[in-house]
Chains A and B, each alone.
Chain A
Amino acid sequence: MAKKVAFLQGNEAAAQGALYAGCTFFGGYPITPSTEVAEVMSVELPKIGGKFIQMEDEIGAMASVIGASLTGAKVLTATSGPGLSLKQELIGYACIAETPCVIVNVMRGGPSTGMPTGPSQSDVMCAKWGTHGDHPAICLTPASVQELFEETVRAFNLAEKYRTPVMVMPDEIVAHMRERIVFPEPGELEVINRTAPTVAPAEYKPYDTSFGDVPPLAAFGSGYRFHVTGLNKGQDGFPTTKAAWVQAEEERQVRKVDANVDDIVQFEEYELADAEVAIVAFGSTSRSARFAVNEARKQGIKAGLFRIKTFWPFPDKQIAALAGKVKAFITPEMNLGMCTGEVKRCAEGKAAVHGIFRVDGEPINPGQILEKIKEVK
């Protein structure tokens, strides 16, 4: 049978990806340019017995998905810049309570209400440092409608596998553009479900690390009872200030991501084998970069593209290896240097890093990148 094909908007694809992954709860508060995610979920979830709720604000929305997740549901919320700022307190709560959830954040101009309909890539630091305290961070930055579907599925997998919030961050261009999408058949993409406890309810502890760095999570309503808090907690979930335990737990929570970067980090290399200039880009900007690489190659310039698919954890190892091979990096991004700083950190001075920054609500076009390639080659 021919696969189902559609001409879909990025936000619609994110919602469809969530449904493919088994999401049954959406709690949100509409905001441009992410609203279509909520629209699709509000139509589709009731059909499959799921729940959609529009909360009083983004903070309430984030709280609702944490609560729903603790009942065993796969949960989604969607927002954009100002909403992401509001959600931060509860994102930290989800990190410390180790509650799987997926947050789609469509990047528009900021700070504050900024430019609601303008594209941006300036929330990537907020994905890692937005909530206070040490915590794991996973953030995916897809570049096409198809990839937004697939990466949303992967976001759910990572959230469930590592018991942690995962962010999917398309820029406004990727979220609002429409492209042809081929829907994967059920079973074609991997779908990971969270590990349920095997012990009896009386013996269950929600943070029992004898099961490893990611302890099984019981569903409320399934006969298991446990305590959930934003305080540092013991194995049983109740608050503790035992120094050695708190230290070990903080380290474990961060280790869930740090020890698994090879499982989490994904990227695409294009024309890099003999490249002297490597462009490092993500989201829609990577599409401009690919266009520029093709043009540069036509003119005999050895340019290549390292496309970041997983922004957090950052592809440190890969960028460090590239730094030893290329003469220069070019980092085009719709912010004032967020990815550029990370590339500099990884390059450790072994290759020059030239940023191209735009925050005027216009995309970085291929011509701008091509010009810079010629300048630094």
Chain B
Amino acid sequence: MSQRYEIRFSGAGGQGLILAGVIMAEAASIYDGKQAVQSQSYGPEARGGASKSEVIVSDTMIDYPKATVVDALLALTQEAADKYSHDLKEGGVLLIDSDLVKNVPKGNFNTVAFPIINTAKNEVGREIVANIVALGAMVALTGVVTKEGAEKAVLARVPEAFMELNKKAFQMGYEKAIAARA
């Protein structure tokens, strides 16, 4: 199963994590020519409640569409970090929002933390693009899709008027993750 790479985006409903997962999967499937499946799990609420979006990327056919052992996990809330980090694999990547996840899950994995939502709000200029900041960071940390492919996938999903905003969010997330990892 070395070819199978499992990514989970988690947080609260309404944070745009399902979309972040969809874009990651589109980058892999449409722009990078790999196999990808995106699935999601969320509560009946429109906002709030723990929400997750999972992406499986592989060079070969993907049978089981959900995560088995997670290679990389994003957690944007404490609840998501508590609920969804149990099956993160040894040596995997954990990306958390340092303002919101104070109780960092313990385990033998590489934790990267920076204020993701705050970056979107104060440095990119709009909190709504926090999911794209997070996506940029996950692309940098996982290396499972190309930066070019991911950028194309982001822009293909965004209305023209918000292209620059999202480009900036993606780039900012990408850079901050690399800096935070170092």
Q: Which residues of A contact B (CB under 8 A)?
A: 5-7, 32, 116-117, 173, 176-180, 284, 287-288, 290-291, 294, 363, 365-367
| B68 touching A365, Cβ below 8 Å | yes
Min Cβ gap B75→A in Å is 19
DSSP majority for the B interface? mixed
Contact string against A for B residues 27-51, beta-carbon threshold 8 Å, 1 for contact and 0 otherwise: 0011000011111111110000000
| Contact, CB under 8 Å: A7 / B30 | yes
Give the CA-CA distance A365 to B25 in the complex, in Å: 21
> B22 contacts the other chain (Cβ, under 8 Å)?
yes
Contact B36 A180, beta carbon cutoff 8 Å: yes
Contact among B30, B39, B63 with A177 in the assembled complex (CB-CB below 8 Å): B39
Chain B residues positioned under 8 Å from A180 (CB to CB): 29-30, 35-36
Given A5-B30, A178-B22, A291-B63, answer yes or no on A366-B68 (Cβ-Cβ < 8 Å): yes
Q: Are B40 and A176 in contact (CB under 8 A)?
A: yes
- CB < 8 Å: which of A117, A178, A290 contacts B41? A117
Indicate if the CB atoms of A287 and B30 lie closer than 8 Å.
no
Q: Give min CB distance, A149 to chain B, whole Å.
A: 15
The interface on chain B, measured as residues whose beta carbon lies within 8 A of the other chain's beta carbons, has a size of: 20
Residues of A within 8 A of B66 (CB): 173, 363, 365
The interface residues of chain B lying within 8 Å CB-to-CB of A176 are: 39-40
CA distance A349 to B135 in the complex (A): 53
Is B65 interfacial (CB-CB < 8 Å)? yes
Question: Quick one: closest A residue to B30, CB to CB?
Answer: A7
Q: Is the CB of A294 within 8 A of B43?
A: no
Q: Which 4 A-B pairs have the closest CB atoms?
A: A177-B39, A290-B63, A291-B64, A178-B38
- DSSP majority for the A interface? mixed
Q: Is B26 touching A366 in the complex (CB atoms < 8 A)?
A: no
Question: Is there an interface contact between A288 and B30, defined as CB atoms closer than 8 Å?
Answer: no
The answer to whether B26 and A7 touch across the interface, beta carbons within 8 angstroms, is yes
List A contacts of B22 (CB < 8 A).
7, 178
- A367 neighbours in B (Cβ, 8 Å): 68
**Is the CB–CB distance between A116 and B44 below 8 Å?**
yes
Q: Whole-angstrom distance between the alpha carbons of A294 and B61 in the complex?
A: 12
Min Cβ gap A108→B in Å is 10
Instruction: Report the nearest B residue to A286, measured CB to CB.
Output: B63
Cβ of A117 and Cβ of B43 under 8 Å apart? yes
Q: Give A7 to B38 CA distance when docked, in angstroms.
A: 10
- Closest A residue to B23 by beta carbon equals A7
Q: Are A287 and B64 in contact (CB under 8 A)?
A: yes
- Complex CA–CA separation, A284 to B68 (angstroms): 14
What chain A residues lie within 8 Å of B64 (beta carbons)?
287-288, 290-291, 365-366
Cβ of A179 to closest chain B Cβ, rounded Å = 5
Chain B residues, CB < 8 A from A173: 39, 65-66
Q: Are B43 and A7 in contact (CB under 8 A)?
A: no
Are the C-beta atoms of A177 and B43 separated by less than 8 Å?
no
Q: Is the CB–CB distance between B37 and A177 below 8 Å?
A: yes
Interchain CB contact under 8 A, A178 and B37? yes
Q: Contacts of B63 on A, CB cut-off 8 Å? A: 287-288, 290-291, 294, 366
List residues of chain A with CB within 8 A of the CB of B35: 180
A177–B68 touching, CB < 8 Å: no
Of all chain B residues, the one with the shortest Cβ separation from A270 is: B63
CB distance from B37 to the nearest CB of A (A): 5
- The interface centre, meaning the residue of B39, B42, B68 with most chain A CB atoms within 10 A of its CB, is B39
Distance A117 CA – B30 CA, assembled complex (angstroms)? 27
Closest chain A residue to B31, Cβ basis: A7
Q: Looking at B35, B40, B42, which has the most chain A CB atoms within 10 Å of its CB?
A: B40
